[in-house]
Structure 1
Amino acid sequence: MWGTHVSLASVLWLLLSRQVHALNAVNCATSSTKAFSVVSSGKAAPIWIGSDDWPGVQRAASDFQSDIQKVTGVKPSLTNFTSNAKVSGIPIIVGTLGRSSLISQVVKNAKIDVSSINGTWESFWASEVSNPLPGVKQAYVIIGADKRGSIFGLYTHSESFGVSPWYWWADVPVKTSKSLFASGCQHGTPTVKYRGFFLNDEQPALQNWAQEKFNTNWTATPFNHFFYSNNTHSIPQIFELMLRLKGNYLWPAQWSSSFGVDDPENQFLADWYGVVMGTSHEEPMARSIPNEWNEFGSGPWDFSVNADNITEFWKVGVERAKPYETLYTVGMRGNGDEPLSTGESIGLLENVISVQRGLLSDAFPNTNVSKIPQVWCLYKEVQGYYQDGMTVPDDITLLWTDDNWGNIRRYPLQNETSRSGGAGVYYHVDYVGTPRDYKWIQSSQIPKHYEQLSLAVTRNATQVWILNVGDLKPYERDTEFFITYGYNASIYNQANLDTAYVIPWAQREFGLSASKTAQVAEIIGNFTRYNSRRKPELWNSTTYSLTNYNEADTVLAEWQAVAAASDAIYNSLDKNTQPAFFQLVQHPVQASANLANMYIQAGFNQLRASQARLSANSLAVTVENLFEHDFDFESEYHSLLDGKWDHIMDQTHAGYYYWQQPMTNTMPSVSRVQSKKQALPGPMRIGLDGSAGAWPGDNPNDCAQQYSCPNPYLLTLDNYTPSGSRYIDIAAGGPNTFQWTINSNVTWLKLNSTKGTVTASSPETRIKLTVDWSKVTGAQYAAIQINATAKGQAPMNQPVFFIANNTVVPKGFKGFVEGDGGISIEAAHATRNTAVNGVQWTELPGYGRTISGVTPYPPTGNNDQNFTVGAGPLLEYDFYNFNTLVNGTLNVTTYVSPSFNGYGDDRRLAFAISIDDASPAPQYFMPLTPATTTPAGWDTPDGFVANSIVSVNTQHTNITTGNHTLKIYAIEPAVVVQKIVINTGNVRYAYLGPPESIRV
């Protein structure tokens, strides 16, 4: 029914049985000594490659030679083989079908069937063969269908042998072995044709780092060929990383550089390596905008008045890129990633693309322009031009985009999936813009990436995928998943992301035991979930409720637990592995946990100060220490490996005043009470679970009148309250020491402590209250007395009234039970799940703010049509309520992920909801919105994407107390439900909603 949660035992079996280092389900290595010997007994098989093969393949073969040496300590020979070459040893023969004369000869002699890869895109085949060449009885042959097929074949072997693609970029240690054996392997055409990332260098991190490491006095920017290839220094840079990840397409850094101008070797070396170059969504015709136009352009960037100069500018870009493999961006936006000026017409943009295609035809006179790869990015307002009727040639790839927050706005419709140019996706894990920049640390979830990108696969948007990775670090894992999923989407599903990706990734990078690898996967799932609930840049001191459901305390405990787990793994690692773990896991966990702790403690500080509690002062100090400690994590990162990554963590992230990054980090506000002055009512302050008030004395939260309030009746507990307890805080209201006692007039109320002392150095005690339900029938009352005595002062007494309600459900009932005034249900925990026409609500494990989400699957089911209201796949949740709101009303809040339908603006996201046999009420919770904008409330600082949720509120009438069933019907695909909350009278605000109710 649901996605399978993987047991530790199955993880152990997976890791111990497969021993796979590669993440694309292709393993070319084996432990069997009967397989082909790459290295054994101190001897390495020689590597042969044809001298007429692609330069990039020859360069990758050199990496392959070096990788074998890194793993085994034995360096194989690498020879440009000719018919006159001396034959010795059993070789590894590498080459490209149709390019390498050596491979042509091997295929002919060994009678290799290459039909599975011949003429395909980026495929490879590898196996041991007999009699490949005269005088050679055996060889291991790696054949690529094309240039990158050969390169990927080599790097797949390297990864299988123990060399991570991140061995330099994240300092992942090579897994060493005295022997290596190859088992043969192959990979077909990738799912996505062009797969890559966009270095959106929007300052301060990547540029500052590159300026320190790669600045020269002969290029205008640090983003020169030393940064991209650094071939002369033998330091692997962007191009090699791209290819090791099985990517092939790059949008280069743009804001402080011009790829084709600043260093004349950039374009040449990209092509030499085998990387397809492009330019970002707002940089047409292989020219950098705004830098190149600002330097070389003439007149305004306005095609309606300056067409000749702009056309000449584009012509230079086309001619400059002509010798190299290029995917040309077409269209036009305003200078500097802005919309075109008001009044620009669709006709003008159609003319722009016509002129651009004319330039391509002129530059490639013997090539049909439809065969030249071109992409038009439908970013922001540009999507509106297309949907308002702008026509573009069928061969141009339509690059659909997300909303900058990981929610893809639209996918190809049925009448668009057969376009010869196809479609693709521009996606973000880093962004500068409203409602806030987010570019400090990982704050996206792989299950969310999968959910959105799998829709792109099913809708045939697989021609181009490009990921905005900002400064690249610290988004290593997100970057690799994006490219790996695009390389082979068939190996992933919603239920296996841990076992198929995260666990093999962690095993490859850190070489841990199976149990510790599973722990790392859990750490990653937890901290990325906590960060994606709300981006750290959007956190504040009241993000999580300080009073309701112990939410802030619970979130803080979650962060402390994941930080402790990461610490334990980090401290257990050897010194060679710690730098990689620090970059990829430890730093983001610890830095995020520290920041979360700072904000939550700042919230408690303000609350305690409003309650006249002395502990506000120590919390202020805690916040100040945590704020300063934030810089320590940055400093530790920058000092790692003698400063290798200096500046990579320069990004500010605390104290945003508006959407743009703050110029420095700013601590949240804290308050202090006078440490030498006693609170007016006396030395003792009382705080109660679920209240921001304080007693004795006046507090605006004590009652509606805000002064002269009665003694509190605030503590209530029923048999099905998830926490199972309540608490009372006994706290200092100043410097004076006092002794306290607490007791009740009933035996069924249990207190974990009954007396103690509060001092200025130990300013408060929390008393936990539980109930012996075997002694309570129905609703019973208890009077609690709290007494305080202090030297030289009159005794104090504070009564608190407690209600225990022993709610009971009928024997045999199974389902969720009302507790604490409501019923909270995780969407995955349905009582029944009914499929319709092969479509069923399916769990997305690890997705969302709490545990998971559910979505109709497959998304293309029901022939791409929506379901009639009440006729779609059905989720049912049995529940029992003891109360209702006025006149038998229940209010239900359904927590839904912010997303777009993707089937067009005329099909709004929707589901239907009902209780029992009432008619299902359709919920079209996203308004119809022009393609040029997002719905109202989407990108405000407290809007849908900021909160990572859309709350859909419905009211249900004529509900009695007792046993009922809540029903959720699918109408449209792409709806992801995370949680359902039924208010029976006392549901309070919490950012994540109430904790899940007890299920019997």
Structure 2
Amino acid sequence: MLQLRYILCCLFFITIHCFGFQKQEIKNEGFSISTIYYEKTGNSLDSISAHLLSEDLFKITGDKPAISTSEETLQKSSILIGNINAEFIQKQLAVTVPKTFKKQKESYYQGWSKDKKHFIIAGTDPRGTAYGVFDLAEKNGVSPWYWWADVPVKKSGKLKFTEKDYFSKAPSVEFRGIFLNDEDWGLQPWAAKNFETETGDIGPKTYAKIFELLLRLKANAIWPAMHPSTKAFFHYPGNKQIAEKYHIVLGSSHAEPMLRNNVDEWKDDFGHFDYKNNKAKINEYWESRIEESKDLDAIFTVGMRGIHDSGMEGVNSIEEAATVLESVIQNQRSMLEKHRDKNAAEIPQAFTIYKEVLDVYDHGMDLPDDVTLVWTDDNYGYIRRLGNQQEQERIGGSGVYYHASYWGRPHNYLWLSTTNPALIWEEMHKAYEMNARKIWILNVGYLKPAEYNMQLFLDMAYDMSQFESASELENHRNEFYTTIFGKELGTQISALRKEYYDFAWERKPEFMGWSQTEPNTEVKSTSYSAFDYGDEIQHRLETYQNLGRQSDRVFKNSPDSLKNGYFQLVHYPIKGAMFMNQKQLNRDLAEKYAKQGRISAKSYQQKSLDSYDSIQKITARYNTISDGKWKGIMSMKPRNLPVFEKPEFNYKIKNTEKTVDFYIEGEHDRTNKLPTFYKGANDTYFLDIFLTKIGIVKWSLNDLPEWIMVSNRSGELNSDFNALQNRIYFQINWDQYTKSRNNDDHFILQLGRDFHQIDLQIKEYEHQESGVFEKNGLAVVYAENFQEQSAFRNYKWQKIADLGYSGAVMQAMPLNEKPLDTIDFQMKHPKLTYEISTESTAESAVLILNALPTHPITNKHGVRIGVKWDNEPIKILNFETQGRSATWKENVLSNKAEAKLPVNLTKPGKHTLNIYMIDPGVALDFIYLKTTDKSLPYGLLKETKLKN
């Protein structure tokens, strides 16, 4: 009987491990807990978990269970916390635990004792037990963010427990954690002056709260804060002790070998941080830390760079750097073996391949096989490269260091967390598919307001099986916000957050000054057009304003208990992004309108200044919410960069003899023609009428054809009432439209006593069966809207939703395959086929293909596609960029990479565009066909598909 029971248990366990987490059935409501028991001889984390759980249950039910290490308490209804192999757990278990489960790291069991009196939470190690404890708390209404984002605990008189025995899976990624960075502008001043005044710094009290959060998020690793404003982690003995108690794996950044903080700990009298010429001192420096940390659970960063995230000192070439690094790592490993009394291969070590270190590594340096390769992104969310087949087979495996916040070139993004979750998924899914599964570290800056991206990243690292496709992102986002805010409110909030990330995809709020850092450049006009493409500036202003209004409405309608959490997680980021866009774009309009002589320019100056004031006010509010708990945590101008400053206006309004003037959309040379209307497309164009001097002017539109629809037919500009300009919108009512006067249709614009004939241009295409169509010199194709698609073996183009300018990209798959050759395109290469109808003949037409600015997946790949226009030869285009080139800078600031191809338009009509796969990983977003010398929009135009 026992043997049969064991076999059934094993089969059950194998099933849940093959097919993901066992779905927990949460029942047994009303079970009364009198005591939380853990073994006196157990580890420190069992004690911490027990005490935190007692506090959690008190927040939920109002009753606080006692904490006990006396087995006498087992006579009462208890929660038992401990190791799965502990004797007291084994005595109470009603199931036989499979041996395979016991071998898993950081896993936990939840279930009932034999007599149903006790609920058991038992881990395969201390962190596994803690995860099980915090999982129970979360399922009963305690968010991991209850403290860090003031998410209220859901009250209930009854607790919920799993009905059936539950065995968790092992985490997908072994080491999962965060890097606290650039803390000068938030975490450090908040801790020093508000939360941990006794230390005056980020110390053990702050780290205890951070470590608790990590455990609640089922993470296990930390790279501590290390900027000049902060003392080194080991400066305060309590930090090390807290890490030990919470069983957090301590690491250090790419620039900090052997758990050292060079910025704080390498003193001037030590000499140069130059291994060639100061080897003895540097070895002594490292060895003392290794000895000090010999009992810590740690991952040791090997190799070296400069003092603070700079290149290696004392070397004159890549060859020399590689030789020195090999010597450095050999000596570091000897020190580790000496003080840890283990073979180096048994000690976790990481070699972070960051910036110039990638060039040194690729030069061919000899790196021990057991050292984990930690690949990095380019600081803007795009992984520079991953392991090829040979590298994937290394014993030490590989991982990723990824940024959700960054200080550096071409521009910081430290203020608001806007990295699109779909990009995080795309890049980290790519990493996981390429077997980078050992270490995942997320640079969260000063943690707030990166809460959601941190949650997503760590959830993926813990269980990647829940994120097999990008479609899972919506479920994750919805669950995150509905769990906190309830289903109705949470669903609204989730939609707002998606819009927030999508708007920032085109341009992050910190990048809206079109300035750069290191060296800092002044703010300049954006690349959004106020006069073409429906007024890109006004469109962006309106979309942000609408988002802000919706957030205001949700904030107002939220229960008081949720307001502080909503403000931190949602409202401040949305409103901050809105105000920054309003500040910069209204500044733009003021300048552009001043050049046209519009006296309304002054009102846009004021709008820009008002938005600057609004950023100050809402930031001050952040630092006072929750009764001042977060005072000092949020700065509105990290590093005091030009983009954050009060806007300046160094121009005068153009002087003109007229009192009133007008401007027609897209008309840079006065021709008095509205852009062409196309039958089957519901286009809207605008005409602006504006005062150039103080006065009163009446205007009207006369002789309008019956089929033209306008927003206003007449009006009055009056400077006394601040009515300084009017915008009139035009659209065709195609049901009433009839061709007349050889397309020479027009109307009369009367401005005071002046009359202006405005011509209307209308065209019809002969080819309307399918595809997209050129309009006013431009055709727009979204990559997902292909006419045909082909595959080859397991190679195919795959859609990733909610990513890119167009809202979906087509990515070359599978990621872990070799590139296809550059011959025999017609037979082997999966292709996407598009049809484009044109009205033009042009010798200088050009295709502009836009993709995500990704990098080659490995050093055996590129970022190439084959492109065939009609019957012309296939051309190979490459989106790859080199280093920190000017092209790369523009790419990451705009989240797109361009590749251009001149094409031959000898005749109007239908054309065929074929795009062939070469390199896996290429992610196509949208395509422009441009037939004139007109500037392209900065954002994305709506794709035009005419109807019969």
Q: TM-score, normalised by structure 2?
A: 0.91
Per-residue deviation at 1:586?
0.8
Per-residue deviation at 1:79?
2.2
Q: Which residue number in structure 2 is paired with residue 729 of structure 1?
A: 688
1:781–1:655: structure 2 CA closer, same or farther, 3 Å change rule? farther
1:265 aligned partner, one-letter code: G
For residue 992 of structure 1, give the secondary structure of its aligned residue in structure 2: coil
Moved over 6 A (4+): 24-27
Q: Which residue number in structure 2 is paired with residue 829 of structure 1?
A: 785
Say whether the 8 Å CA contact 1:891–1:983 is kept in structure 2. yes
Aligned counterpart for 2:104 among listed residues 120, 124, 128: 120
Q: Which residue number in structure 1 is paired with residue 372 of structure 2?
A: 397
Q: Which residue number in structure 2 is paired with residue 665 of structure 1?
A: 645
Aligned counterpart for 2:154 among listed residues 169, 175, 182: 175
1:655–1:289: structure 2 CA closer, same or farther, 3 Å change rule? closer
Q: Which residue number in structure 1 is paired with residue 57 of structure 2?
A: 68
Q: Which residue number in structure 2 is paired with residue 766 of structure 1?
A: 727
Q: Which residue number in structure 1 is paired with residue 750 of structure 2?
A: 787
Q: Which residue number in structure 1 is paired with residue 831 of structure 2?
A: 874
**Aligned partners of 1:465 and 1:388: how far apart in 2?**
25
Q: Does 1:649 find its partner at 2:634?
A: yes
For residue 99 of structure 2, give the secondary structure of its aligned residue in structure 1: coil
Q: Which residue number in structure 2 is paired with residue 47 of structure 1?
A: 36
Aligned counterpart for 1:290 among listed residues 248, 254, 263: 263
Q: Does 1:559 find its partner at 2:515?
A: no
Per-residue deviation at 1:202?
4.5
Q: Which residue number in structure 2 is paired with residue 93 of structure 1?
A: 80
Q: Which residue number in structure 2 is paired with residue 792 of structure 1?
A: none
**Aligned partners of 2:366 and 2:646: how far apart in 1?**
49
Q: Does 1:777 find its partner at 2:739?
A: yes
1:909 aligned partner, one-letter code: V
Q: Which residue number in structure 1 is paired with residue 7 of structure 2?
A: none
**Per-residue CA shift, 1:411-436, capped at 9, x if unaligned?**
11100112111111111011111101
Aligned counterpart for 1:193 among listed residues 166, 169, 174: 174
2:81 aligned partner, one-letter code: V
Q: Does 1:267 find its partner at 2:240?
A: yes
Aligned counterpart for 1:529 among listed residues 502, 517, 530: 502
Per-residue deviation at 1:651?
4.2
Say whether the 8 Å CA contact 2:81–2:121 is kept in structure 1. yes
1:614 aligned partner, one-letter code: I
Say whether the 8 Å CA contact 1:820–1:987 is kept in structure 2. no
1:448–1:719: structure 2 CA closer, same or farther, 3 Å change rule? same
Between 1 and 2, higher relative CO (CA 8 Å, sep ≥ 6) is seen in 1
**Aligned partners of 2:847 and 2:247: how far apart in 1?**
55
**Aligned partners of 2:787 and 2:67: how far apart in 1?**
63
**Aligned partners of 1:915 and 1:655: how far apart in 2?**
49
Aligned counterpart for 2:816 among listed residues 860, 865, 873: 860
1:408–1:87: structure 2 CA closer, same or farther, 3 Å change rule? closer
Q: Which residue number in structure 1 is paired with residue 863 of structure 2?
A: 909
**Per-residue CA shift, 1:510-532, capped at 9, x if unaligned?**
2242xx33322221111112123
* Residue range with higher mean Cα deviation, 582-591 or 185-194: 185-194
Per-residue deviation at 1:574?
0.5
Q: Which residue number in structure 1 is paired with residue 527 of structure 2?
A: 543
**Aligned partners of 1:666 and 1:158: how far apart in 2?**
46
For residue 386 of structure 1, give the secondary structure of its aligned residue in structure 2: helix
**Aligned partners of 1:52 and 1:900: how far apart in 2?**
51
**Aligned partners of 1:76 and 1:947: how far apart in 2?**
54
Per-residue deviation at 1:614?
1.8
Say whether the 8 Å CA contact 1:717–1:726 is kept in structure 2. no
2:251 aligned partner, one-letter code: G
Give the % identical residues. Answer: 27
1:584–1:866: structure 2 CA closer, same or farther, 3 Å change rule? farther
Q: Which residue number in structure 1 is paired with residue 120 of structure 2?
A: 141
For residue 408 of structure 1, give the secondary structure of its aligned residue in structure 2: coil
**Per-residue CA shift, 1:794-828, capped at 9, x if unaligned?**
x3233333322233435xx1222333332212212
1:605–1:245: structure 2 CA closer, same or farther, 3 Å change rule? same
1:204–1:86: structure 2 CA closer, same or farther, 3 Å change rule? closer
**Aligned partners of 1:330 and 1:721: how far apart in 2?**
64
1:860 aligned partner, one-letter code: N
Q: How many residues align?
A: 903
Q: Which residue number in structure 2 is paired with residue 160 of structure 1?
A: 139
For residue 549 of structure 1, give the secondary structure of its aligned residue in structure 2: coil
For residue 801 of structure 1, give the secondary structure of its aligned residue in structure 2: strand
Say whether the 8 Å CA contact 1:224–1:262 is kept in structure 2. no
Per-residue deviation at 1:361?
1.2
**Aligned partners of 1:144 and 1:965: how far apart in 2?**
60
Q: Which residue number in structure 2 is paired with residue 233 of structure 1?
A: none
Per-residue deviation at 1:840?
2.3
Aligned counterpart for 1:896 among listed residues 846, 851, 861: 851
Say whether the 8 Å CA contact 2:848–2:899 is kept in structure 1. yes
Say whether the 8 Å CA contact 2:304–2:325 is kept in structure 1. yes
Q: Which residue number in structure 2 is paired with residue 18 of structure 1?
A: none
**Per-residue CA shift, 1:727-777, capped at 9, x if unaligned?**
211211211102222223644433333222110021122222222445343
Q: Which residue number in structure 1 is paired with residue 802 of structure 2?
A: 846
Q: Which residue number in structure 2 is paired with residue 7 of structure 1?
A: none
**Aligned partners of 1:264 and 1:968: how far apart in 2?**
60
2:82 aligned partner, one-letter code: G
1:251-650 equivalences in 2 (<5 Å): 251-255=223-227, 256-294=229-267, 298-341=270-313, 342-343=315-316, 344-365=320-341, 367-513=342-488, 516-540=489-513, 541-550=525-534, 551-650=536-635
Per-residue deviation at 1:568?
1.9
Say whether the 8 Å CA contact 1:124–1:187 is kept in structure 2. yes
Per-residue deviation at 1:836?
2.0
**Aligned partners of 1:874 and 1:842: how far apart in 2?**
11
1:73–1:155: structure 2 CA closer, same or farther, 3 Å change rule? same
Q: Which residue number in structure 2 is paired with residue 683 of structure 1?
A: 659
Per-residue deviation at 1:480?
1.2
Q: TM-score, normalised by structure 1?
A: 0.87
1:64–1:27: structure 2 CA closer, same or farther, 3 Å change rule? farther
Say whether the 8 Å CA contact 2:421–2:473 is kept in structure 1. no
1:290 aligned partner, one-letter code: V
Say whether the 8 Å CA contact 2:680–2:946 is kept in structure 1. no
**Aligned partners of 1:591 and 1:836: how far apart in 2?**
47
1:449 aligned partner, one-letter code: I
**Aligned partners of 1:440 and 1:580: how far apart in 2?**
18
Say whether the 8 Å CA contact 1:720–1:998 is kept in structure 2. no
1:672–1:576: structure 2 CA closer, same or farther, 3 Å change rule? farther
**What are structure 1's unaligned runs of at least 5 residues?**
1-23, 131-135, 230-236, 692-700, 703-710, 790-794
Say whether the 8 Å CA contact 2:404–2:453 is kept in structure 1. yes
**Per-residue CA shift, 1:837-866, capped at 9, x if unaligned?**
1232222211123412220233124x6766
1:270–1:489: structure 2 CA closer, same or farther, 3 Å change rule? same
Say whether the 8 Å CA contact 2:45–2:245 is kept in structure 1. yes
**What are structure 2's unaligned runs of at least 5 residues?**
1-19, 514-524
1:937–1:474: structure 2 CA closer, same or farther, 3 Å change rule? same
2:297 aligned partner, one-letter code: E
Q: Which residue number in structure 2 is paired with residue 151 of structure 1?
A: 130
Q: Which residue number in structure 2 is paired with residue 885 of structure 1?
A: 842
1:670–1:558: structure 2 CA closer, same or farther, 3 Å change rule? farther
**Per-residue CA shift, 1:384-431, capped at 9, x if unaligned?**
111101111111111111111111111111001121111111110111
Q: Which residue number in structure 2 is paired with residue 6 of structure 1?
A: none
**Aligned partners of 1:721 and 1:321: how far apart in 2?**
72
**Aligned partners of 2:767 and 2:68: how far apart in 1?**
79
1:277 aligned partner, one-letter code: L
**Aligned partners of 1:722 and 1:644: how far apart in 2?**
54
CA RMSD of aligned residues (A): 2.4
1:128–1:832: structure 2 CA closer, same or farther, 3 Å change rule? farther
**Aligned partners of 1:866 and 1:564: how far apart in 2?**
52
